[in-house]
Amino acid sequence: MKKFILIFFLVISVILSCKKADSDIGREILPDEDLLNATYCDTSTIIAYTVLDDSLRTDESFIGFIPQLVGSMADPIFGRTDASLYMNFTNPNNTINIGFGSDPKLDSVVLTLAYKKDTYYGDKTDALNFNVYRLTQSIYFDSSYYSYSSASYNQYEDITYSGNGFLSKIDPSTSVYEGDVAFSPHLRIRLKNEIGQQFLDDTTKLANTSALLDFFKGICVTTKNTNINSTDYGFIAHFDLTSPMSKISIYYHNGSNATTKKLDLTIRNNSARFNQYHHDYSFAHPDFTQQLPPTLNFANGKQNLFLQGMAGSKIKIEMPYINKFSDSGKISVNRAELILKADKSSMFYDATKFFVPSRAMLEGINSSGTLYGLSLDQLYDLTGRWGYYDAINQEFHFPLPYTIQRMANKIETNSFSLRIFQNHSIPSRIVLGGANNSTYPLKLKLWYTRVE
């Protein structure tokens, strides 16, 4: 009974703390007549906490032409993250009955991966060890693969030329030269000669793409075996596998003729490819990990909330008393804004290495726990910046008049889910202030008029 009375007075105090909009708050957006009888409130209770976001599709048929990721990061707040890439190849442009001519002699085999130009995450001055493994399990274009999916390979048989991986930094901005010819930025990894020699010895393996995939099922490219310490943060590289530069090239010549020729195993639209992500939170910040299983200390979300891409973490937001606004009759929401501020304290914020995500995605959660889009709220925002990061005010800003009105009038449940936009392929992260954070508070700003 005492608990009921306490909650009753808490709700009443929140609603009574709202006030008539007789100030200039919000006048830069709403016409004066819309605010004449509006009541303003920014004290509505918000409960928010961090949850895992660990089951996302990452295959080519789902992400389309978005670049795929390879790399490893050691983050003092979010722990270690590894991104591995699985893919297979086709005959050169799907041609059939490939040959190498008379007396072919192998020169080298090179894997090239085209960068998404000028795009990376982390510290590109660090070097990571790229291991390449030959798959022993087929992967398929028409199958679904998730952030936790994998395909079998022999972890003791690295097929890079050294057999121990290829240590490299990344440079997604500088052209690469072959002789005097400049090519768009890409990573080149030499592979063992035997990978190409097998095709020179038996060209039936290149009779068609099916024959190729029966023999050479694909590869896994990973940096997860790299030892990263507290001063080497590492990086996540963005590779464009739709580029003609992404391929395996077999270089050879014929007999005594020294002219170098090349045959490419290509990546086509119907080539299978997917990312696998692994997060190790064992040395992540305790304010983050204590909100996760098995601790589930959601009270830590009152101070800080942790948002991470690559199937890392997302935020659940609840407004338990928002429907109390209509206890005395329905309301019409003139304006509603959910504002989440970046915590700029030095402990959490380092935009030089851990780049802030440019956009976040807010979705509603219905009574069955299913996510739904907030398209009408997005249409209300005429700036077209709904969910984009405001670098000047260091915040995400979501106008929500339609959804908040439905929640306040008991038509819709009172929960949201916040994630990084395109979280299946964006490695960015950010720490946000919680509702009780005195410097960077999470707030709902609400202007409303009672209609009944």
Domain residues for the domain of 441 are: 17-54+284-450
Q: What is the mean pLDDT of residues 239-254?
A: 95
**In this structure, are 175 and 50 located in the same domain?**
no
**In this structure, are 107 and 238 located in the same domain?**
yes
Q: Considering the domain boundaries, does residue 191 fall inside one?
A: yes
**In this structure, are 212 and 265 located in the same domain?**
yes
Q: Considering the domain boundaries, does residue 2 fall inside one?
A: no
- 243, 122 in Cβ contact below 8 A? no
Give pLDDT, residue 23: 40
Total number of domains in the chain: 2
**In this structure, are 50 and 101 located in the same domain?**
no
**In this structure, are 224 and 335 located in the same domain?**
no
Q: Is 256's pLDDT higher than 60?
A: yes
**In this structure, are 262 and 348 located in the same domain?**
no
- Given 271, 293, 311, the domain boundary residue is 271
**In this structure, are 171 and 24 located in the same domain?**
no
Q: How far apart are CA 158 and CA 155, in angstroms?
A: 7
Q: How far apart are CA 189 and CA 126, in angstroms?
A: 17
- Tens digits of residue pLDDT in 95-104: 777 889 999 9
Q: What is the mean pLDDT of residues 73-88?
A: 95
Q: Is 7's pLDDT higher than 80?
A: no
**In this structure, are 35 and 131 located in the same domain?**
no
What's the number of CA atoms in the CB half-sphere (13 Å) around residue 54? 11
- 172, 261 in Cβ contact below 8 A? no
- 378, 386 in Cβ contact below 8 A? yes
Q: Considering the domain boundaries, does residue 277 fall inside one?
A: no
Select the more confidently predicted residue: 4 or 84: 84
**In this structure, are 330 and 255 located in the same domain?**
no
**In this structure, are 352 and 314 located in the same domain?**
yes
- Tens digits of residue pLDDT in 180-236: 899 999 999 999 999 999 999 999 999 999 999 999 999 999 999 999 876 678 999
- Given 221, 239, 271, the domain boundary residue is 271
- Given 242, 271, 300, the domain boundary residue is 271
Weakest mean pLDDT among 34-43, 331-340, 351-360: 34-43
Q: What is the mean pLDDT of residues 11-25?
A: 48
Q: Considering the domain boundaries, does residue 6 fall inside one?
A: no
> pLDDT tier at 270 (50, 70, 90 boundaries)?
confident
Q: Is 76's pLDDT higher than 50?
A: yes
- Tens digits of residue pLDDT in 359-390: 999 999 999 999 999 999 998 787 788 999 99
Torsion angle, CA of 407/409/413/416, rounded to 10 degrees? 0
**In this structure, are 46 and 68 located in the same domain?**
no
Q: Considering the domain boundaries, does residue 10 fall inside one?
A: no
Q: Considering the domain boundaries, does residue 7 fall inside one?
A: no
**In this structure, are 73 and 45 located in the same domain?**
no
